[in-house]
Amino acid sequence: MIREEIKKLIEKSIKELQKDKKLPKFDIPEIKIEHPEEKVHGDYSTNVAMVIAKLVRKNPIEIAKLINWKLEIGNWKFLNKIEAVEPGFINFFLSNSVLTKELKIILKEKEKYGSSKVGKGKTVIIDYSSPNIAKPFGIGHLRSTIIGQALYNIYKFLGWKCIGDNHLGDWGTQFGKLIVAIKKWRMKDFSVRELENLYVKFHKEAEKNPKLEEEARREFKNLEKGEKTARKTWKKCVEISLKEFDKVYKLIGIKIDYALGESFYQGMFEAVVQETIKKEIALKSQGALVIKYPKDKLPPAMLLKSDGATTYLTRDLATVKYRLKKWKPDLIIYEVGADQKLHLKQLFEAVELLGWAKRTEFFHVAHGLYRTKTGKFSTRKGKTIHLEEVLKEAIEKTREIIEKSETGQELSKEEKEKIAKIVGIGAVKYNDLFQHYSKDIIFDWDKILNLKGNSAPYLQYTFARCQSVLKKAKLETEPEKVEVLTFNKEEKDILREIYKFPEIVKEAADRFSSNLICNFIFDLAQKYNLFYNLHSIIKAQPAELKIFRLTITACVAQVLKNTLNLIGISAPEKM
RNA sequence: GCCCUCGUAGCUUAAUUGGAUAAAGCAGGGCCCUUCUAAGGCCAAGAGUGUAGGUUCGAGUCCUGCCGAGGGCACCA
């Protein structure tokens, strides 16, 4: 990778300068290389000179010039120019030949372009989606599902062994509540919708009659003890819900390796509890068993309720134990809402206290929550928006646009239907991915159904446009034939962007940020569309120029496709 | 009350985790299909980053106070 080579060059130059006594002895600081925002500052730039200047108390620009001088007498075929500028940056300009070479690499590696083997031998478990049984699949769970899946794809692309686990909320007092409700209101047969209504009704009643909560806890306790009717009702709820979830997953094209769920760990709760007592991490408090953190670093966390029933901490601890043993992961990513920050902190800290995690890193991708303009969605109060409803609306709106669009006229009925589906769903997904995960999203029908500008349809459209051009050109792009070494501004802008893709993928993984990939690809698509509007491709003369422009088109299409793949959005040939 | 996030154009967000002139999209205004997909492109207008200080060669990014929004704080998950 070019970035690494530049880094090595700089390091070498500094060492040589130290040897020549032009620079005093010091430990070479971490060399940060970035892409300058302004094109006039080159393709890469570093601030080492300024960092060193601080270290040795000298003028930054002088140090920069010194390093620059050393660099310039070095050997660097891939660069066109190196410069040292105020206040002390060193800028690197890539040569045209290295930019063209990247196109050849893209055409050669195709769907593998951007992938790498840096994760080889490493395992990551990604805990995502994790809807609660007996509740409908709300818009809130979409974030975890979509972002989690994108992270899964990204890590896999980088050579990691990935294990996706859908940690279903299929155990807990909520079932006690349902069992009470089902008994009380004599339900025999029910759907997920009705279960949701029951849940809401229960909470409404419980406000007037607090005894219901107690009853629910008793029922959950019964369930944990294995009482027959409780067990039967629970099972039924789980089955109905799973069926419903499968429908949703299928619709949005999500496949999760495992769906073990909280109930899977039932047999392990006792052992976990015993271990915490033995290691003197947990103690009795007001009849319950809680973990007290040293120096009150964190608030105490409950392991067992006063009636002896488990809590979600018990279940999460058991889950960690199981995962560590079964998969020996290097990293576990929890793609879970920000409202669980404290809980997961408590969990990670408990794991630390138990001494389980010797070599495993834990990370909580605490995504912001969907909110209404007035507040939070609440299942308890029945204030939710169902995902299916959102998807249906999105597909419907897409249909309307297809009917009105120019390109839509040439499509068959089946094609239109297919496109409406992938574009509509893509738009909803992209809405979750393009902004940083930590931000709350205010639910707004207009925004989530946005089909232009920075959106999935824009990218999909650009891809379809490339495909259309390539098809009409009736010419295979052959990497060897690309010999053009002078570019116009728009061509160069594309070339100066496209090679960043492999770097972006790595960064997205490091920072758990799918939005970086979205930023990158939107930028690239914009640059391509500008180029497309200004320059003729198929009619370009001479022949080499035509081939060159077609190659750019093929490369942009390839990178668009690879990116959309990573974020789980389909790339249509036509739209 | 305590703890944790977040405050950037009218709206929704970027900003390579301390770098160079804060970047886009949407909405609104003007323009571009006798050329390959106009779900596209161009131009103009629009903020100095909630607020007051501080650290730094350099702050949207770090520190402190204040204001505002959201989340969490033992028997929901």
Q: What is the three-class DSSP state of A34?
A: strand
| Two structure tokens written together for A348 | 């990670």
CA A392 to chain CA centroid, Å, is 24
> What is the reported pLDDT for A86?
87
Query: Residue A48 belongs to what domain range?
Result: 2-94
What is the distance between the alpha carbons of residues A564 and A575, in angstroms, rounded to a whole number?
16
Is A434 inside a domain boundary? yes
Q: What is the three-class DSSP state of A158?
A: coil
Is A191 in the same domain as A57? no
Is A571 inside a domain boundary? no
| Two structure tokens written together for A326 | 């079964």
Is A225 in the same domain as A353? yes
**Which nucleotide across the nucleic acid strands is nearest to A130, CA versus C1'?**
B77
With b meaning 16 or more CB within 10 Å and e meaning fewer, what string describes A360-388? bebebbbbbbbeeeeeebebeeeebbbbe
The C1' atom of B25 and the CA atom of A453 lie apart, in whole Å, by 5
Are A548 and A482 in contact by the 8 Å Cβ rule? The answer is: yes
What is the distance between the alpha carbons of residues A152 and A165, in angstroms, rounded to a whole number?
10
The neighbour count for residue A470, using CB atoms within 10 Å, is: 18
**Residue A53: which of A44, A62, A65 has the closest Cα?**
A62
Are A562 and A403 in contact by the 8 Å Cβ rule? The answer is: no
> What is the reported pLDDT for A383?
61
The C1' atom of B31 and the CA atom of A518 lie apart, in whole Å, by 30
What is the distance between the alpha carbons of residues A19 and A135, in angstroms, rounded to a whole number?
68
Which residues 6+ apart lie within 8 Å of A367 measured at CB? A143, A144, A147, A335, A336, A337, A338, A437, A438
The C1' atom of B5 and the CA atom of A368 lie apart, in whole Å, by 9
Residue with smallest Cα–C1' gap to B7: A439
Residue with smallest Cα–C1' gap to B14: A519
Is A501 inside a domain boundary? yes
Is A203 in the same domain as A343? yes
Q: What CATH number has the domain bearing residue A39?
A: 3.30.1360.70
C-alpha dihedral, A353 to A356 to A358 to A363, nearest 10°: -80
Are A337 and A366 in contact by the 8 Å Cβ rule? The answer is: yes
What is the distance between the alpha carbons of residues A106 and A551, in angstroms, rounded to a whole number?
10
The helix or strand, by DSSP H or E, that contains position A79, with its residue range, turns out to be strand A79-85
Residue with smallest Cα–C1' gap to B56: A54
Is A574 inside a domain boundary? no
Written as one letter, the residue type at A523 is D
Chain B: nucleotides under 7 Å from a protein CB?
4-6, 12-17, 19-21, 23-27, 33, 35-42, 57-58, 70-77
> What is the reported pLDDT for A385?
79
ipTM field: 0.95
**Which nucleotide across the nucleic acid strands is nearest to A510, CA versus C1'?**
B17
Is A135 in the same domain as A23? no
DSSP assignment string, A236-289? HHHHHHHHHHHHHHHHHT---SB---GGGGGGGHHHHHHHHHHTT-EEEETTEE
pTM for the structure as a whole: 0.94
Q: Helix, strand, coil shares of chain A as percentages rounded to 5?
A: 60, 10, 30
Residue where the block lists tokens 């300024």: A50
Is A116 inside a domain boundary? no
Are A309 and A173 in contact by the 8 Å Cβ rule? The answer is: yes
Instruction: Give the count of domains, chain A.
Output: 3
The C1' atom of B11 and the CA atom of A373 lie apart, in whole Å, by 13
Q: Residue count of chain A, please give it.
A: 575
Q: What CATH number has the domain bearing residue A402?
A: 1.10.730.10
Is A440 in the same domain as A299? no
The C1' atom of B61 and the CA atom of A534 lie apart, in whole Å, by 37
The C1' atom of B69 and the CA atom of A144 lie apart, in whole Å, by 23
The neighbour count for residue A24, using CB atoms within 10 Å, is: 12
Is A348 in the same domain as A391? no
* Measured CA angle at A268 (ends A319, A343), to 5 deg: 40
**Which nucleotide across the nucleic acid strands is nearest to A50, CA versus C1'?**
B57
**Which nucleotide across the nucleic acid strands is nearest to A405, CA versus C1'?**
B39
The C1' atom of B24 and the CA atom of A39 lie apart, in whole Å, by 17
Residue with smallest Cα–C1' gap to B21: A38
**Which of the 8 DSSP states describes residue A258?**
B
What is the distance between the alpha carbons of residues A220 and A5, in angstroms, rounded to a whole number?
61
Residue with smallest Cα–C1' gap to B19: A47
Is A414 in the same domain as A557? yes
Residue where the block lists tokens 């940690």: A167
Is A110 inside a domain boundary? no
> What is the reported pLDDT for A381?
62
The neighbour count for residue A12, using CB atoms within 10 Å, is: 14
Which residues 6+ apart lie within 8 Å of A404 measured at CB? none
**Which nucleotide across the nucleic acid strands is nearest to A312, CA versus C1'?**
B77
Is A60 in the same domain as A151? no
Is A448 in the same domain as A558? yes
**Which nucleotide across the nucleic acid strands is nearest to A337, CA versus C1'?**
B71
Residue with smallest Cα–C1' gap to B36: A469
The C1' atom of B25 and the CA atom of A390 lie apart, in whole Å, by 21
Q: What is the pLDDT along chain A (575 residues), one digit of tens a residue?
A: 789 999 999 999 999 999 999 999 888 888 999 999 999 999 999 999 999 998 888 889 999 999 999 998 876 788 999 999 989 999 999 999 999 999 999 999 999 999 999 999 999 999 999 998 877 787 878 899 999 999 999 999 999 999 999 999 999 888 999 899 988 887 777 788 888 888 888 888 888 888 888 899 999 999 999 999 899 999 999 998 999 899 999 999 999 999 999 999 999 999 999 999 999 999 999 999 999 999 888 999 999 999 999 999 999 999 999 999 999 999 999 999 999 999 999 999 999 999 998 889 999 999 998 877 666 666 666 667 788 888 999 999 999 999 989 888 889 999 999 999 999 999 999 999 999 999 888 888 877 877 889 999 999 999 999 999 999 987 666 666 677 778 999 999 999 999 999 999 999 999 999 999 999 999 999 999 999 999 999 999 888 899 999 999 999 999 999 999 999 999 999 99
Is A9 in the same domain as A62? yes
- Maximum distance among all Cα pairs of chain A, rounded to whole angstroms: 89
Which residues 6+ apart lie within 8 Å of A452 measured at CB? A458
Is A211 in the same domain as A286? yes
Q: What is the three-class DSSP state of A364?
A: strand
The C1' atom of B40 and the CA atom of A434 lie apart, in whole Å, by 21
The C1' atom of B63 and the CA atom of A132 lie apart, in whole Å, by 42
**Helix pair angle (A341-354, A269-278), 10° resolution:** 60
